[in-house]
Copies of this chain bind each other. A is one copy, B any other.
Amino acid sequence: MAKYAEALDDVFVALADPTRREVIRRLGSGPASVGELARPFQITLPSFMKHVRTLESSGLIRTAKSGRVRTCTLNRERLELLDGWLDEQRRIWEARTDRLEELVTHQEETP
């Protein structure tokens, strides 16, 4: 459970930045090199690499170096942690709605 909470922390932190979200979006279309990913951004390569490292350590992407080229791949499973968390919230809301409905029905039945 602690590991799940930590993984969620890392994923949320990693996604709390427009550059990193843009990288995730781009990798949704397929793997890309760091150079290719960095191109649309007005930042230095070392700054961009920090974003890559944050994404990698969160588990959202994987990287592999071949010669001088580092290729990044999206790890969709890790992104699906968010779906799981959101589903859990929805189940809680639905349980609440059910309780409220029960309460209203009960009140209507009571003369």
Hey, what's the 0/1 contact readout for A1-44 against B, CB within 8 Å counting as 1?
00001001100110111100100110011100000000000000
- CB-CB under 8 A for A29 and B96, given A12-B15, A16-B9, A17-B9: yes
A85: which B residues are within 8 A, CB to CB?
A: 21
Per assembly, the copies of the chain total 2
Main secondary structure, interface of A, reads helix
Query: How many residues on A have C-beta within 8 angstroms of the other chain's C-beta atoms?
Result: 27
Q: Tell me if B12 and A16 are in contact (CB < 8 A).
A: yes
- Specify which chain B residues have a CB less than 8 angstroms from the CB of A92 in the assembled complex: 25, 28-29
Contact of A88 among B12, B17, B25 (CB under 8 A): B25
Q: Is the CB of B96 within 8 A of A30?
A: yes
Chain A residues with CB under 8 Å of chain B are 5, 8-9, 12-13, 15-18, 21, 24-25, 28-30, 76, 79, 82-83, 85-86, 88-89, 92-93, 95-96
